[in-house]
Amino acid sequence: MRVDILTIFPEMIQAVVGCSILKRAQDKGALTLAVWNIRDFARDRHRSTDDYPYGGGAGMVMKPEPAFEAAETAMAAEPGRRPHVILTTPQGRRLDQDVVRGLAQRDWLMILCGHYEGVDERIREHLVDDEISIGDYVLTGGELPALIILDAVTRLQPDVLGSEESVVEESFSEDGLLEYPHYTRPAEFRGWNVPGVLLSGHHGEVSRWRRRESLRRTLKRRPDLLERAKLSAEDARMLVELKEEHDEHD
Ligand code: 9D3
C-alpha cells in the first residue's frame, strides 16, 4: 500500500513513522510512505498556508492553492492512478475497525491533515473523497488522526503482523467481544493468585472460562458491542447467567 500524508507539520509525522511496526512495514515493502510539507507549495512571500475567513469571524482557514499543489505533485508520482483522498476533520465519519478494514483494501491513500478552524470548502468539494474523525474530543490538528489511520491500516497489510498478533485481529473481528483477562508467570504475585482454572490444564474449561469472562467484561463495559457480536446459543445462556449474577449484586 502507498500512503501520502500532506501536512504543515511533517516533523510530527516523521517522528512516529520511523518507529516500531510502521518502520518494519516500510522496510518489508508492505508500506510506501511519502510525507509532503504543504508549506513547500505556498507561493507568497510569507509562505502562508492559511488566511482569514471571507465573511469574517474568528480563526483561520486553510488556503486551497498550497493544498491542491501538494496533492497534485504527489499524484504526479503515479500517473494513471488516483489515490483515495482523506481529510482528517472533526466533521468526518467516525473511525472504527469497519472503516479501517475498508481503507486497508485501497492500494493508495492520500491523507490531508486538517488544521486551523477548517479548510477552504473547495478542498472538500474538489480534492477530498472521504472525511474522517477519530472521535468526539478536540485535538490541536489532524496529524495525530492521520497517524492513527496509518497505524490501523498498516497492521492489516499482508505480512506486517507476526502470526500471534494476527490471530488477535481475527478473533476480534470474528466475535466482536472484549478480550478475556490475561495472566502470565508467576502464579502468585504479592498474594494475588492466577485463577486456578488457567493452571488446571483442562482446555475445555479454560475456553469456557475465557468466553464467560469476555462476555462478562463486554456486558459491563461495552454493552453496545453485544448487539453486533456473533453469539452462540451457549453464549446466550452464559449471558443470561451473567445478567442474573449482576442483578443479585444490586
Ligand atoms: C469550534 C469548532 N471546532 C471543532 C470542534 C474547531 C476545530 C477544533 C479543533 C477544528 C479543528 C480542530 C483540530 N482537530 C482536527 O483537525 C481533527 C480531529 C479532532 O479534533 N478530533 C477528532 N478527530 C479529528 S480529525 C482532525
> Predicted confidence band at 167 (pLDDT cuts at 50, 70, 90)?
very low
- Residue 116 counted as domain residue: yes
- Residue 236 counted as domain residue: yes
pLDDT attached to residue 248: 87
Q: Is the pLDDT of residue 162 over 90?
A: no
Q: Which residue has the cell 520511523?
A: 18
Q: Is the CB of 53 under 6 A from ligand 1?
A: no
Q: Is the CB of 198 under 6 A from ligand 1?
A: no
pLDDT attached to residue 174: 63
Do 40 and 80 reside in the same domain of the chain?
yes
Out of 130, 154, 178, pick the residue that ends a domain. Answer: 154
CATH number reported for the structural domain that contains residue 115 in this entry: 3.40.1280.10
Question: In a mutational test of the pocket of ligand 1, which residue from 139, 140, 149 has the highest number of ligand atoms less than 8 Å from its CB?
Answer: 139
Question: Are 35 and 10 in contact, with CB atoms under 8 Å apart?
Answer: yes
Do 62 and 181 reside in the same domain of the chain?
no
The proportion of the chain whose per-residue pLDDT surpasses 90, expressed as a percent, equals 91
| Dist. CA 193 → ligand 1 center (Å) | 45
Q: Is the CB of 114 under 6 A from ligand 1?
A: yes
SS3 category, 182: coil
Residue nearest ligand 1's atom 13 by CA? 141
- Residue 159 counted as domain residue: no
- Residue 150 counted as domain residue: yes
pLDDT attached to residue 163: 74
Count structural domains, the chain: 2
pLDDT per residue over 117-156, tens digit each? 899 999 999 999 999 999 999 999 999 999 999 999 999 9
| Dist. CA 148 → ligand 1 center (Å) | 15
Q: Which residue has the cell 500524508?
A: 5
pLDDT per residue over 112-128, tens digit each? 999 888 999 999 999 99
pLDDT attached to residue 184: 98
Do 146 and 179 reside in the same domain of the chain?
no
Do 123 and 242 reside in the same domain of the chain?
no
Between CA 58 and CA 53 the distance in angstroms is 8
Do 231 and 184 reside in the same domain of the chain?
yes
pLDDT attached to residue 117: 87
Do 199 and 240 reside in the same domain of the chain?
yes
Between CA 193 and CA 55 the distance in angstroms is 66
pLDDT per residue over 69-85, tens digit each? 999 999 999 999 999 99
Q: Is the CB of 7 under 6 A from ligand 1?
A: no
| Dist. CA 32 → ligand 1 center (Å) | 27
Q: Which domain holds residue 94?
A: 2-154
> For residue 236, which amino acid is it?
A
pLDDT attached to residue 168: 60
Q: Is the pLDDT of residue 34 over 70?
A: yes
Q: Is the CB of 141 under 6 A from ligand 1?
A: yes
The proportion of the chain whose per-residue pLDDT surpasses 70, expressed as a percent, equals 96
